[in-house]
Amino acid sequence: MGAEKSQLSTPQRTAMLLIPARVHAPGHAPVTARVPRRSVATPKRVLSTKATSTDDVSLPTTDANAPSPKQPRVHLACPVCLTPFKAVNCQTCTKCNRSFPTESGIIDLCLDAGNAQGAYKEPPQKSGTKLFQNELISRVYENGWRQSFAWAGFPGEDEETAYAMEYMVGAWGGVVLDVSCGSGLFSRRFAASGKFATVVASDFSETMMTQTREYCLGDTRLRKMMTSEHSDDSPSLVFVKADVGRLPFASSSLDAVHAGAAMHCWPSPSAAVAEISRVLKPGGVFVASTFLDPTAIVGNDEMTQQLSGLFKDSGVGTGGAFNQFFSEMELRDLTTRMCGFEKKSFARKRNRQFIMFKVTKPSL
């Protein structure tokens, strides 16, 4: 490996470390300028971090003359019985006989797909879940709403993409699920990076999924990724309406799952993280960003844990878009104690109430 690596020229090594700086919005010319991953991943704002470095990771090289390997497939499954479908374009379960529609390029794999609920009604949803099913919210999400997270210390979608790409470097070349993707801010960046064979954009909100697909249709490169030349292969950009608490994917079938600024809107984070653990391959990585509770600004979690508990029990600040806030200790225990991720794999980046963390599913 060392001899092979030393034969690469500096431009070749630099080219392998490129990720897109920005994906253009609909109606605007694409931004083709690229920046080195190393410079993007080191933001001007210094964040407190215990993250492991990826600077010493040897990245795979590609022989331009070699035949392209068969693209990894997305193994979609019935959300009722989890039986895998035979192909991406075939969503009829052979066991429970449920069929799930595809409308405007979005595969609906929620339990109520096709109005299957009939007269049945679910209990009222929590505010954070219900809010993002509003069409107006989906329209303004990228036009001020998401940018307002700067008040909590979120560094912005470009820097957050760079952090996530660092954490997911081991999944490059595989299948990544961007769950609770909202309007597709990160789905589009992951797809445009060219680092993943397949990107699945998924959200519970129909209006958010529609918005995600509209943005992708506005980008020529992404639009080409939304179709497959061969019926037995997966498109490299797939849209799936799904419930994070019942993910319609075969067990151990995904290389990475990303959830950007989403966990605080989930009705049951423990059920969702358990599902994420189920669908990840051994060695797969879960990367997420969310809001810490306001006591995180004071200092170390161990010092503020009691104060944090009192704050959350009071319910203050959890209305609107928030179902709940977290402490770092809660996120660590949720992922590595409750849901089986490796304890030593927990790494994070923090700034005030912003946290991005990654955990790895144990290898076989």
For every residue of 50-87, DSSP letters joined together read: -PPP-TT--PPP--TTSPPPPPPPP-BB-TTT-PBPSB
pLDDT on residue 306 = 53
Please report, as a single letter, which amino acid is at residue 354: F
Looking up tokens 């993280």 gives 273
- State the DSSP H helix or E strand holding residue 102, giving kind and residue range, or none if neither: strand 102-103
Q: 175 pLDDT band (50/70/90 cuts)?
A: very high
Domain boundaries, the chain: 126-360
313-to-70, 122, 324 alpha-carbon distances in Å: 51, 26, 10
pLDDT on residue 38 = 38
User: Between 173 and 325, where is the model more confident?
Assistant: 173
Mean pLDDT of 240-245: 97
User: Which residues on neighbouring strands pair with residue 18, listed in sequence order?
Assistant: 36
pLDDT on residue 225 = 93
Give the three-state DSSP class for 90: strand
Mean pLDDT of 337-358: 96
Mean pLDDT of 185-213: 96
Average pLDDT, rounded, for the chain: 79
Mean pLDDT of 196-211: 96
Give the three-state DSSP class for 13: helix
Range name among 20-24, 99-103, 123-127, 247-251 with the lowest pLDDT average:
20-24
Mean pLDDT of 333-339: 97
21-to-31, 36, 173 alpha-carbon distances in Å: 8, 9, 19
pLDDT on residue 133 = 73
Q: 139 pLDDT band (50/70/90 cuts)?
A: confident
What do you get for the CA distance between the two ends of the chain, in Å? 25
pLDDT on residue 174 = 96
User: Which residues on neighbouring strands pair with residue 201, listed in sequence order?
Assistant: 178, 239
- The CATH number, out of the four listed (3.40.605.10, 3.40.50.150, 3.30.420.40, 3.40.50.2300), of the domain defined by the range 126-360: 3.40.50.150
Range name among 135-139, 216-220, 260-264 with the lowest pLDDT average:
135-139
Token representation of residue 341 = 């991720």
pLDDT on residue 100 = 95
* pTM, 2 dp: 0.77
pLDDT tens digits along 32-53: 333 344 333 433 433 444 443 3
User: Between 177 and 61, where is the model more confident?
Assistant: 177
Cα separation of 138 and 183, whole Å? 7
Strands of 261-351, DSSP E: 280-291, 347-351
In the predicted structure, residue 275 carries a pLDDT above the cut 70: yes
